[in-house]
Chains A and B, each alone.
Chain A
Amino acid sequence: DAGVIQSPRHEVTEMGQEVTLRCKPISGHDYLFWYRQTMMRGLELLIYFNNNVPIDDSGMPEDRFSAKMPNASFSTLKIQPSEPRDSAVYFCASSLGTFKETQYFGPGTRLLVL
């Protein structure tokens, strides 16, 4: 299995630009999670989906952030407009069903907003 796939791996953009991060979960996994990691705040859960439906988006920092999962094999996290404080590593993770199953992380997208 290829594991969770994220793209791009690195993104450098200017303040005000739109940023789209992409994730392909492990085939068959029905939960998908988006996390953000910074030195200051550590790992934070932004949003998660079950069977393509957003379940909890309470971690999304503000309206500039949005996430979609149009099908079981693809999700996007969009930031519009981006700001320097959005600079972080964004991880996507997926898991198979119940809470007894662990989450598997993608390699992350390192975002730098200038």
Chain B
Amino acid sequence: EDKVVQSPLSLVVHEGDTVTLNCSYEVTNFRSLLWYKQEKKAPTFLFMLTSSGIEKKSGRLSSILDKKELSSILNITATQTGDSAIYLCAVIQGAQKLVFGQGTRLTINP
């Protein structure tokens, strides 16, 4: 059975800290891995990773895929309270079927 596992499930840090969120997967016919940020409403897209070892960066957020280890990490540096959200990892397998992890709930305290 295809599965995506995220860790930790919950994380509380202070503003300014750096956090690393983990995502591991076991899926058939892996295509790509996506990271989403979900605040109160719908998930919003952060990154799509298809190639191993190539870091994608957007401001204070960055992510990298390791196909050998079947995993990805999402880093957030100099965290701000606005980074508080649920971060979802999802894997595209086959022809556009997304399998989601359970999410990491990140809380940034001032």
Q: Mark B42-69, 1 if CB is under 8 A from A, else 0.
A: 1111001010000000000000000000
Known: A33-B98, A42-B103, A43-B88. A106 touches B48 (CB 8 A): no
Asked if B34 is at the interface (CB within 8 A of a chain A CB), the reply is: yes
- Are the CB atoms of B42 and A105 closer together than 8 Å? yes
Interchain CA distance A50-B42 in the complex, whole Å? 22
Known: A100-B32, A102-B34. A42 touches B97 (CB 8 A): no
Q: Among A45, A100, A105, A107, point to the contact of B97 (Cβ < 8 A).
A: A45
How many chain-A residues does the 8 Å CB contact rule pick out? 22
Query: Could you say which residues of chain A place their CB within 8 Å of the CB of B99?
Result: 45
B interface residues, Cβ below 8 angstroms from A: 31-32, 34, 41-45, 48, 50, 88, 90, 92, 95-103
- Are the CB atoms of B41 and A107 closer together than 8 Å? yes
- Are the CB atoms of B100 and A44 closer together than 8 Å? yes
Q: Say whether chain B's binding surface is mostly helix, strand, loop, or mixed.
A: strand
Query: Could you say which residues of chain B place their CB within 8 Å of the CB of A44?
Result: 100
Query: Could you say which residues of chain B place their CB within 8 Å of the CB of A31?
Result: 96
Known: A43-B88, A44-B100. A102 touches B42 (CB 8 A): no
Query: Could you say which residues of chain B place their CB within 8 Å of the CB of A55?
Result: 95-96
Residue of A nearest to B41 (CB): A107
Q: How far is the CB of A89 from chain B (nearest CB, A)?
A: 9
Q: How far is the CB of A85 from chain B (nearest CB, A)?
A: 19
Q: Among B31, B98, B101, B102, point to the contact of A103 (Cβ < 8 A).
A: B98
Interchain CA distance A28-B42 in the complex, whole Å? 21
